[in-house]
């Protein structure tokens, strides 16, 4: 059975009532329109459901016609994802973000750029790990993940086995995983944890973290980090 996106939730309420979590300012009416009109069309959720969870998978061939597939985890306002989509029309990009205001911002940017190679999951990246085929992604981005600064909250960080193990399974051998963070202790945890999951840190010298990627565009969160005097770190890993 296939799960077709429809214009309305079965209850008749607009989809935006069911996506993500609301946070921050209310949505402008134009943003509500983006959510109502565009989100169902941009869903990666053409999942073939099966009683066996191992066979419940997204058909990426149908979604992107055989293009390389990249994943952005926590796209915030979506500026980086739209930038990459426009620069790389031969790639299909799936973005995950539970922050509904961010999803609405992204949809506005997709309309403006006219990008047709983005699909949006308005929720947790772990939902995608459940439905993506293994070894299907050639790139993943984790850009300024939530820092969880208190020590007792470090286990909530994305760079923990709970997230890294399924992410590693979804990446192809040779795939690239980029992590940007402005938190030194996050760098420590990333360099400690990510290599345990079959990734090699691609740094010729330790200070290579200072250089942004050649195709980088600064994100909203990075701009905030600069304003508050924090230093970005750019880490690149390759999946073995
Ligand atoms: C600090 S913000 C950075 C946003 C954006 N990448 C940037 O650089 O501006 C971290 C984002 O990750 C999202 N996030 C947190 N946990 C997530 C998860 N499990 N799956 C997807 N997104 C997540 C949050 O909602 C938040 O928008």
* ipTM of predicted assembly, 2 dp: 0.99
Q: Identify the sign of the CA torsion 167, 197, 210, 149.
A: positive
Q: Is 134 a catalytic residue?
A: no
Query: What pLDDT, on the 0 to 100 scale, is given for residue 5?
Result: 45
Please tell me which residue, 123 or 73, carries the higher pLDDT value: 73
SS (H, E, C) the chain: CECCCCCECCCCCEHHHCCCECCCCCCCHHHHHHHHHHCCCCCCCCEECCCCHHHCEECHHHHHCCCEEEEEECCCCCHHHHHHHHHCCCEEEEEECCEHHHHHHHHHHHHHHCCCCEEEECCCHHHHHHHCCCCCEEEEEEECCCCCCCHHHHHHCCCCHHHHHHHHHHEEEEEEEEEEECCHHHHHHHHHHHHHHCEEECCCCHHHHHCCCCCCCCCHHHHHHHHCCCCCEEEEEEEC
Please tell me which residue, 204 or 163, carries the higher pLDDT value: 163
Percent of the chain with pLDDT over 70: 85
Q: Strands 199-201 and 233-239: what pairing?
A: antiparallel
Q: In ligand 1, which atom is closest to the CA atom of 23?
A: 25
- Which of 145, 155, 222, 227 has the most ligand 1 atoms within 8 A of CB, as the residue to mutate? 145
**What would the mean pLDDT of 121-145 be, rounded to a whole number?**
94
Mean pLDDT (the chain) is 88
Q: Whose CA is nearest to atom 13 of ligand 1?
A: 74
Is 125 touching ligand 1 by the criterion CB < 6 Å?
yes
Q: Whose CA is nearest to atom 5 of ligand 1?
A: 76
Q: Whose CA is nearest to atom 25 of ligand 1?
A: 99
Q: Which residues are annotated as a binding site?
A: 72, 97, 124, 146, 150, 182, 219-222
CA of 76 to the centre of ligand 1 (A): 6
Query: What pLDDT, on the 0 to 100 scale, is given for residue 1?
Result: 34
Catalytic residue among 50, 146, 208, 215: 146
Q: Is the pLDDT of residue 2 over 50?
A: no
**What would the mean pLDDT of 160-175 be, rounded to a whole number?**
97
Say which range, 42-46, 119-123, 181-185, 202-206, has the weakest mean pLDDT: 42-46
Q: How far is Cα 56 from Cα 133, in angstroms, rounded to an integer? A: 9
Q: Strands 171-181 and 233-239: what pairing?
A: antiparallel
192-226 confidence digits (pLDDT tens): 999 999 999 999 888 889 999 999 999 999 999 99
Query: What pLDDT, on the 0 to 100 scale, is given for residue 3?
Result: 42
Query: What pLDDT, on the 0 to 100 scale, is given for residue 204?
Result: 86
Is 97 touching ligand 1 by the criterion CB < 6 Å?
yes
Is 20 touching ligand 1 by the criterion CB < 6 Å?
no
Is 124 touching ligand 1 by the criterion CB < 6 Å?
yes
Is 103 touching ligand 1 by the criterion CB < 6 Å?
no
23-68 confidence digits (pLDDT tens): 556 888 999 999 989 988 898 865 555 566 666 788 899 899 999 9
- For the chain, the distance separating the N- and C-terminal CA atoms, rounded to the nearest angstrom, is 35
Q: Identify the sign of the CA torsion 188, 191, 192, 197.
A: positive
Query: What pLDDT, on the 0 to 100 scale, is given for residue 141?
Result: 98
Domain 15-239, CATH = 3.40.50.150
Tokens matching residue 10: 């079965």
Q: Which residues are annotated as a binding site for substrate?
A: 150, 182, 219-222
Tokens matching residue 216: 């980088």
Is 186 touching ligand 1 by the criterion CB < 6 Å?
no
- Which of 76, 96, 183 has the most ligand 1 atoms within 8 A of CB, as the residue to mutate? 76
How far is CA 217 from its chain centroid?
Answer: 15
Query: What pLDDT, on the 0 to 100 scale, is given for residue 57?
Result: 81
The CA-based angle 92-96-102, given to 5 degrees, is 110
How far is CA 96 from its chain centroid?
Answer: 4
Q: How far is Cα 207 from Cα 9, in angstroms, rounded to an integer? A: 50
Q: Are the beta carbons of 239 and 173 closer than 8 angstroms?
A: yes
């Amino acid at each position: 059975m296939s799960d077709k996106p429809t214009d309305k939730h079965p209850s008749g309420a607009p989809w935006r009532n069911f996506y993500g979590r609301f946070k921050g300012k209310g949505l402008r009416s134009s943003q509500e329109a983006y959510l109502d009109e565009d989100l169902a069309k941009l869903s990666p959720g053409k999942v073939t459901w099966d009683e066996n969870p191992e066979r419940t998978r997204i058909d990426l061939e149908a979604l992107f016609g055989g293009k390389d597939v990249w994943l952005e985890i926590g796209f915030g306002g979506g500026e980086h994802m739209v930038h990459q989509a426009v620069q790389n029309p031969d790639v299909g990009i799936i973005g995950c973000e539970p922050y509904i205001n961010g999803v609405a911002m992204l949809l506005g940017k997709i309309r403006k750029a006219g990008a047709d190679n983005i699909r949006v999951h308005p929720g947790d990246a772990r939902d995608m790990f459940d439905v993506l085929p293994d070894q299907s992604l050639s790139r993943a981005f984790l850009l300024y993940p939530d820092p969880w600064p208190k020590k007792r909250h470090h286990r909530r960080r994305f760079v923990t086995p709970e997230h890294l193990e399924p992410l590693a399974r979804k990446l192809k051998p040779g795939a690239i995983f980029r992590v940007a963070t402005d938190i030194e202790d996050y760098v420590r945890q990333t360099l400690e944890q990510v290599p345990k999951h079959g990734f090699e840190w691609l740094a010729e010298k330790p200070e290579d973290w200072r250089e942004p990627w050649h195709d980088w565009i600064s994100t909203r969160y990075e701009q905030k980090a600069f304003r508050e005097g924090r230093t970005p770190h750019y880490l690149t890993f390759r999946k073995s």
